[in-house]
Chain A
Amino acid sequence: MALLEIRNLNAGIAGKHILKGINLSINAGEVHAIMGPNGSGKSTLSQVLAGRKTFNVISGEVVYNGKNLLELEPEERAHEGVFLAFQYPVEIPGVNNTYFLKAAYNEIRKHRGEPELDAMDFLALVKEKMKLLHLEQDLMNRPLNEGFSGGEKKRNEIFQMAVLDPKLAILDETDSGLDIDALRDVADGVNKLRRPDNAALVITHYQRLLNYVIPDFVHVLLNGCIVKSGGKELALELEEKGYDWLACQPCV
């Protein structure tokens, strides 16, 4: 059984129909990339999967790990192992980065019936994962994302992902606004977290990130539906030809 199964998903926002029948199946151990131009519905898809209520699901279903994902609250999805790396991580002044992450981590453990980690053990875990992402200690003591540079925010997203260890990671335009060093670090982090028992959905406009995070499958999203799917070479083809040549394709 697939880890994530999206069937004929239609969704929109404020009366606007954006996703028009998405079908997608992701197995554990796979990395899928969704590519598409601006306005194709990439971010809508990621927000719907994470449970953002401002987007409404019109029809279709999403089965995740045997559960009806669309029935779950955002925090329940996180407890079940869904993680969204935000395109625009929210700055939250006054909430300490480490404090926040420890609270999130322990909520997930609580859900799994595991004892909460105390401050010392959590710190050890954090130290280990920080090395992975080349994060500065100082970042951990600062308020969550407040005043972080674009690169720091994205690194912090992947760092959170490393700590929370999700089964399904959705990376929404994680490559946007990154310089080459940050891009490498972020990709490196994602690659190190790849395991046979988890999966990633990488959403991107450009092929650039896919030079570092090699996908098993590439899907092209245009006007709210997937018009073409293929292997990693499809990304290169898109880089070369753009998206226009696919404009007349029917949904798959």
Chain B
Amino acid sequence: MTTARLPVADRRDVRSATWRLLTDDRRAMITVLVLYCASAAAGLAGPWIVGRIIDQVESGTTTTTVDALAATACAFVLAQVLLTRFARYAGHRFGERALARLRERFLDSALDLPMSTVEHAGTGDLMTRASSDVATVGNSARDALPEIFLGFVQMTFMIGAIFFLDPVLGLCALISMPALALVTRWYLRRARDAYLAEGAANTELAEDLAATAEGARTVEVLRMRADRIGGNDAHIGAAFATRVRTLALRSVLFPSIDIAHTLPVAATLLVGGAFYLNDQVTLGTVAAATLYLWQLVDPINTILIWIENLQSGSAAFARIEGVGKAPAAPAPSGRTPDGDRLDITDVGYAYLPGHDVLRGVTLSVRPGERLAIVGPSGAGKSTLGRLLAGIDAPGTGRVTIGGVDVTDLDPAELRRRVALVTQEHHVFLGTLRDNLALAAPDADDRRMFDALEAVGATWAEALPGGLDTMLGAGGMRPDASQSQQLALARLVLADPHTLILDEATSMLDPRAARDAERSLAAVLEGRTVIAIAHRLHTAHDADRVAVMENGVVTELGSHDELAAAGGTYAALWRSWHGG
């Protein structure tokens, strides 16, 4: 119910994580660095040689000299192509390795999250991190980082080349830099939020359109056309406003860059011209410096185009790293339970202080017993189920198996003893075998087929690929009742002593639910079962029934006792049977 959010790494953590990611592969990083510099250096030849040619032409030269210089230029271009290729390739490989490390570490952190964290934070946030954030970082690392890095190297080398031509001209090249830095700083301070807002507004607009399409029938039935159009127009208005905002930022940035690009050219012509007229530099030097300045616009543009992307990449990176910062589960005490008796002693629980969901619940379930828990929504049934499964620790009181607190058990040990079955029947992308093996990695085909058969999943035998049939998108798509059977077959394989069923069949249509209940009967055989009942027939078949209302157990006894007692349960049972 409460939405505790997963942590996000702070700036310092992000910086050190980035550094770690880069230096884990130190030698490759140095190779990439060297190759990038070499390719940028080779790219400097063009204007330099044009300058030399101009000087030669001015001093009246032969075509042979010009030919030699031009041939050198071509050779440098070829060298630049080869160096760029190997630099890029090395960069690719380096990036791929870094990304693989990043995503694998992320998944391990996600898998290590304690169950209570997953329950409370919900899987939505984690899903976003797993899907869009990992992809965003991937794109940044693959596209933005190399482009920006190469851009910086090229920019530095070009300015360096002008300094080498003539230090004063080099200073001329830099005259716009302070202004450019200021404008860029101004822009970047605002751009990230503005583009995030734009992205969010776009997503909302697309989602709104999707909702209209998905809910088109509801729109017609409930005559919501005007509402939907009005709502969509409002989303368009909001999206438009964010676009205007980012456009305003670009309206400052773009002309500033253009002007910042023109000024050094003018300064170089004037200062270089004055030097030339005093015979301090050659015409070729002035021309070469001018050409470098023209070319400088490319790396600057590249940097500015990608730097915004890098910003969103670093925000996504902070969220990915944050998952590893979530508090770990408390270490299990390692005590071994004595038997499988479940005891709930005076348990209380609250998600929010002051809002008790459970109050003083005491129950004992002996091995092999079937207990049904019934009661209205919000009575605390599911919360009790989660405490029994060891996902949450009780606020007060104790939940023990064989005398040991469930939260003190090693997760693997706990799984061998207790399994919680909910309405969620997740079918994993992968083969049928993958989907079953998670419960029993060592099970052979025979055991898997036996488990499927036990729960009535006869369709599995008929699959063309057998256990290796792919399930989910692009493969066989199990329907709701087949998914449920898979979930149940996993239980047969996992073979826990105690099962907690939380409205396990309630989301299925009546027909599928009937099949599922039949399958379920096979799984329940010989186990302790605590069923949070949705339909009363489950209660009827149980050894004992506990009625929960407002966080307390109000009635406890066998079906017959309670039906005869004339309380809540009896009234309900009568209406259930149309009496």
Asked if chains A and B come from one complex, the reply is no
